[in-house]
Amino acid sequence: MQHVEFFHKAHFENNYHRTAPPAGLSHFIDFIWETDFGHLWQAHPEGFSDALFPNIGYTYLVNLGTPFVMQVADQFFDMRSDGFLPRHRSIECYHRPGNQLFGIKFKISPVLFLKKINFAEYREYIFPLSYLVEQSLIDAIKGATNFEERVRIISNHYQPIIREHAGSLQEIHIVTEILDRCFRDNDFKTTIETLASQYKISTRTLQRYFERATSISSKNALQIMRIRKAAAHIASSPQTFHYSIYGYYDHSHFYKHLKQFLQKSTLQNLQPHLQLLQTLHKKPRLDGM
């Protein structure tokens, strides 16, 4: 059994705890989540997998249960402990009875305020989480009795860091501001040169800021955000979707990007997205008809 992001919405909505962070952390954390699989094992004693498409940022994974297997692109990792998971590639997690995971999905981690970290050096593999998080915080998360308590622990840990360093590290401010504005306004066409000039820095400097903070280039980050937002829209509300909302030149331009985004090696066997692609490949109706 394979559950695929965007297509098996009920699974991801009903079998995971998921909450947005406090407002003060929203520029840095997308959401905090935890698996809620206990009621599934009787129906799936052999387990199942959850496949996710590329995203910006990264996830701090805390293992609350038994070992599990994580696939990043074409590489497999036997996860016995906690890990740092880069999210710019497709992933698939293979769950078995006894697995329980807790995660923090970051756009940008506040650890940048505390340590000289370059996340571009952390983008090829899953690294031990202890490189980036104090063991005392990991222990507190594991010692908590429920998801709500773990969320409070995370909020209480990161909120003082943000308040203490407000206004410092201009490069983090620039990257978070660009990501937030482009996502909010569906502005994915402004060139990197234009973005850099708005902050009176060079293109090379802006690229360095993005790679250090997000692990990938500004262009890659914005294009991943773009196609994710468009794919979520068409999967949930196809009747209101139009390619121009997200700045695509025409239907073919959008279709090509979506096809490239969806057709990942982890989905070669089942390809549950084929019906959506076939529907999109039909000649689109004219506006107003």
235 — pLDDT class (breaks 50, 70, 90): confident
Mean pLDDT on 110-137:
88
Residue 263 lies in a domain: no
pLDDT at residue 33 tops 90:
yes
Contact 255, 246 (CB under 8 A): no
* Residue 192: φ, ψ to 5°: -65, -35
Rounded CA gap, 215 and 199, in Å?
20
Rounded CA gap, 169 and 194, in Å?
21
Q: Where are the alpha helices (DSSP H) in 167-250?
A: 170-185, 192-198, 203-214, 218-236
pLDDT at residue 20 tops 90:
yes
Question: Residue 134 belongs to what domain range?
Answer: 2-164
Give whole-number Cα distances, 245 to 187, 231, 269, 277, in Å: 9, 12, 32, 19
Mean pLDDT on 40-53:
93
pLDDT at residue 215 tops 70:
yes
Residue 240 lies in a domain: no
58 — pLDDT class (breaks 50, 70, 90): very high
120: CATH: 2.60.120.10
287 — pLDDT class (breaks 50, 70, 90): very low
Mean pLDDT on 60-87:
92
Residue 131 lies in a domain: yes
Mean pLDDT on 260-287:
53
Give whole-number Cα distances, 184 to 121, 245, 278, in Å: 29, 12, 29
Residue 158 lies in a domain: yes
Residue 189 lies in a domain: no
Domain count, the chain: 1
Residue 278 lies in a domain: no
